[in-house]
Structure 1
Amino acid sequence: MTNESCNFSLDADIMGLTCIYSMSFSLGLPANMLSLWGLYQLGISTGGVQLVYLINLLLSDLLQLLTLPTWILYLQRGHNWPYGSIACNIVGYVFYVNLYASVAFLCLIALDRYKAIVRPLRSQGVRTVRVAWLSSLVIWTLTFFFCLGGLHSVFKQNLASYESRCLEQYPVSPRYACFKIATIVLGFLLPCCILGFTSTRIAMTLQNSPSTSDRDRRKIVGTLCIITVIFIIIFGPYHLVGSYKFVAYFLTDDRCGLEKSLFLTYRLCYGLTSLNNLLDPLFYIFLSNNIRKELRSMPCLRRRNCTPKEGTVTNLHLDQEDHM
Structure 2
Amino acid sequence: WGNTLDHWRSEAVVLSLLFSVIFLVGAAGNCLVLAVLLRGGRANAKSTSLFILNLGVADLGFIVFCVPPQATVYTMDEWPFGPVACRAVHFVIYLTMYASIFTLAAVSLDRYLAIRYPLRSREMRTPKNALTTIAVLWGLSLVFSGPYLSYYQQMDLDGTTVCIPAWDIHHRRVMDVCTFVFGYLIPVLILGLTYARTIRYLWTAVDPMENMSESRRAKRKVTKMIIIVAVLFCLCWLPHHLVILCMWFGHFPLNHTTYVLRILSHLVAYTNSCLNPIVYALVSKHFRKGFQKTFGCALRKRVVNRVHVVPPAQTVRTLPREPVPFLDFSCAED
Q: Shorter-normalised TM-score: what interval?
A: 0.7 to 0.9
2:330 corresponds to which of 293, 309, 320: 309
Q: 1:72 to 1:228 in 2, by over 3 A?
A: closer
Identical counterparts, % of pairs: 25
> Who is 1:247 aligned against?
249
- Is 1:69–2:75 an aligned residue pair? no
Residue 313 of structure 1: how far off its partner (Å):
8.5
Please show how residues 208-227 of structure 1 align to structure 2 within 5 Å: 208-210=205-207, 211-213=210-212, 216=217, 219=221, 222-223=224-225, 225-227=227-229
Measured at CA, do residues 77 and 43 of structure 1 come closer, stay the same or move farther in structure 2, by a change above 3 Å? same
Over 3 Å counting, the alpha-carbon distance change for 1:143 and 1:116 in structure 2 is: same
Do the aligned residues in 2 keep the contact of 1:89 with 1:167 (CA within 8 Å)?
A: no
Gaps of 5+ in 1: 1-9, 315-324
1:216-249 Cα offsets, whole Å, 9 max, x none, are 387466435523431332122222332232334x
* 2:163 corresponds to 1:166: yes
TM-score under structure 2 length normalisation: 0.76
> Which structure has more RCO (C-alpha within 8 Å, separation ≥ 6)?
1
CA positional deviation for 1:21: 2.2
Question: How many correspondences in the alignment?
Answer: 292
1:17-76 residue CA offsets vs partner (Å, 9 max, x unmatched): 544422210111111111100011141575321121111111111111112122222222
Change (3 A) 1:175 1:301: farther
Q: Which runs of 5+ in 2 are unaligned?
A: 1-7, 303-327
Q: Distance in 1 between matches of 2:84 and 2:164?
A: 11
Amino acid corresponding to residue 242 of structure 2 in structure 1: L
Bigger Rg over Cα? 2
Decide which structure has greater helix share. 2
Shift of 1:181: 0.9
CA RMSD of aligned residues (A): 3.2
2:238 paired residue number: 236
- Preserved contact between residue 43 and residue 53 of structure 2 (Cα < 8 Å): no
Give me the whole-angstrom Cα distance separating, in 1, the residues matched to 2:333 and 2:283: 15
Paired residue secondary structure (2:124): coil
Distance, in Å, in 1 between the alignment partners of 2:266 and 2:168 is 16
Residue 165 of structure 1: SS of its match in structure 2? strand
Tell me the TM-score normalized by structure 1.
Answer: 0.78
What SS class does the counterpart of residue 136 from structure 1 fall into?
Answer: helix
Cα distance per residue 1:114-163 (max 9 Å; x no partner): 111113344333211111111111111111121112x24424xx157686
What is the letter of the counterpart of residue 239 of structure 1? H
What is the rounded CA distance, in whole Å, between the counterparts of 1:220 and 1:34 in structure 2? 19
Supply the AA of the counterpart residue of 1:139. L
Q: 1:196 aligns with which of 185, 192, 197?
A: 192
Secondary structure of the residue that 1:166 maps to in structure 2? strand
8 Å CA contact 2:191, 2:230 repeated in 1: yes
Match of 2:87 among 70, 83, 89: 89
Give the structure 1 partner of residue 57 of structure 2. Answer: 59
Please state how far the C-alpha of 1:288 moved relative to its aligned partner. 2.2
Matching residue of 2:39 = 41
Q: Which is worse superposed, 57-66 or 264-273?
A: 264-273
Contact 1:61 1:98 in 2 (8 A): yes
Q: Give the 3-state SS of the residue equivalent to 2:275 in structure 1.
A: helix
Whether the 8 Å contact between 1:297 and 1:308 is mirrored in structure 2 is no
CA separation of 1:161 and 1:258: change in aligned 2, threshold 3 A:
same
